[in-house]
Amino acid sequence: MVKAVVGANWGDEGKGKITDTLADDADVVIRFQGGANAGHTIVNEYGKFALHTMPSGVFHPSIMNIIGNGVAFDIEKFMAELDDVTSKGVPVPQIMVSDRVQVLMPYHVTFDSLEEARLAGKSFGSTKSGIAPFYSDKYAKIGWQINEFYQSDEVLREKIARIAAIKDTMLVHLYDADPIDQEALLAWIKEMRDRVKPYLGNVSLYLDRAIRENKTILLEGQLGTMKDPDHGIYPMVTSSSPLAAYGAIGAGIPPYEIKKIVVVSKAYSSAVGAGEFVSEIFGDEASSLRNHGGDGGEYGATTGRPRRVGWYDCVASKYGCRLQGCTDVAFTVLDDLGYLDQIPVCVAYELDGRQIREFPVTKDLSRCRPVYQYFKGWKCDIRGIKNFEDLPKEARDYVNFIEAELGYPITMVSNGPAREDIIYRQSPLKK
């Protein structure tokens, strides 16, 4: 059975923890898109980890962890992350990297940084990890599939020269920067191919066999619906699709094999990067929520920069669940709201004097204002509670209301950062 774990919102919903938890019953976990520009935070018996490249199943020795062909594969960060995890006592994980994955090259990071600097105040809020230049090259057909690294120096030099002829024009004349050092790039390719070679494999074939053997496969998505380049808040989006449907492409499996789609949504909203965010809050109110939120505060797992925060947005979340094809909602960080006397929930947008409950196109978002409904807070610590019925009535009312607004079943409620801090819930919406 193939299951997907994806985000309903702007990312940072807690997908890493949910994937790590569901991995208890999985045979394979696969990253199918994105790169090292976002991280999944996991807390377990080994400590606290922020994974940027490796799948969240690496803490389970029996699981095959796969980096799929849809990923922007940063070899250096992958190797550093593997060394970091194993140095902290985690058993060496099983890892396979698709022999069709494309490699994030050093000049992709250079271009990302230079372009953000050029745009200045009008930048996209990039993490400067090279993701947009990487995907641009992939679809312009001047990218590097990892298997291309294993060719003669003559062939590699020819491709490097062909790419440099394009890149150097921009580096020198647009950014006033140095051209690509072609010999240094060749040396880098040869070093990286030796380091990563033991992990390469035919992923689509492996997954085909796993499906035929009725193994459980988890597709792990990065970011969330609002960062999708088609259905998100374009252009303030990422460069690959974080939708579950793309999991079939980014992993190399038939789309009809994805049977369960767990969409992760926070009990409040947060976002890293630029873009419209209707329920965003500011000032002391935002600082309080940011510092109570997450595990140690709402700060980016990759960048460390403060996340923008806001109240739960039913309009955006319902849209996000619909686009993902949600079968189950995992509702996270409910415990972080225990300090509040009352909790606002955005139930609609006001747009040009009328209320709307369906998420609009991006050009209209800047004119939208949140319409709130308020709920009484529970004012206590709910960590350690294992049964939904044992939560305070106010907490249950909050979850039940949001589920009814979404129209999708909330079957998991996270009430703490650790793997065991999960409440499994029988939803009245679950068929």
Residues involved in catalysis: 12, 40
Query: Structure tokens of 230?
Result: 């088609």
CB 245 within 8 A of CB 221: no
Q: In a 10 Å sphere around its CB, with 0-12 CB exposed, 13-18 middle and 19+ buried, how is residue 152 labelled?
A: exposed
Beta-strand pair 2-7/28-31: unpaired
The phi and psi torsions of 331 (rounded to 5 degrees) equal: -100, 115
Quick one: 103 exposed, middle or buried, by C-beta within 10 A (0-12, 13-18, 19+)? buried
402 touches 410 (CB < 8 A)? yes
Cβ burial of 392 (10 Å; 0-12, 13-18, 19+) is middle
How far is the C-alpha of 374 from the C-alpha of 111, rounded, in Å?
A: 46
Distance between CA atoms of 278 and 372, rounded to whole angstroms?
11
In terms of DSSP bridges, do strands 72-73 and 308-310 run parallel, antiparallel, or are they unpaired?
unpaired
Determine the Cα–Cα distance for residues 18 and 419; give it in Å rounded to an integer: 8
Sign of CA dihedral 93, 96, 101, 107: positive
What is the phi/psi pair of residue 297, to 5°?
Answer: 105, 160
Which residues pair with residue 2 across a beta bridge?
217, 258
What type of residue sits at position 70? G
Contacts of 282 (CB under 8 A, 6+ apart): none
CA torsion sign, 383 to 221 to 401 to 282?
positive
CA distances from 269 to 7, 13, 309, 345 (A): 12, 8, 6, 10
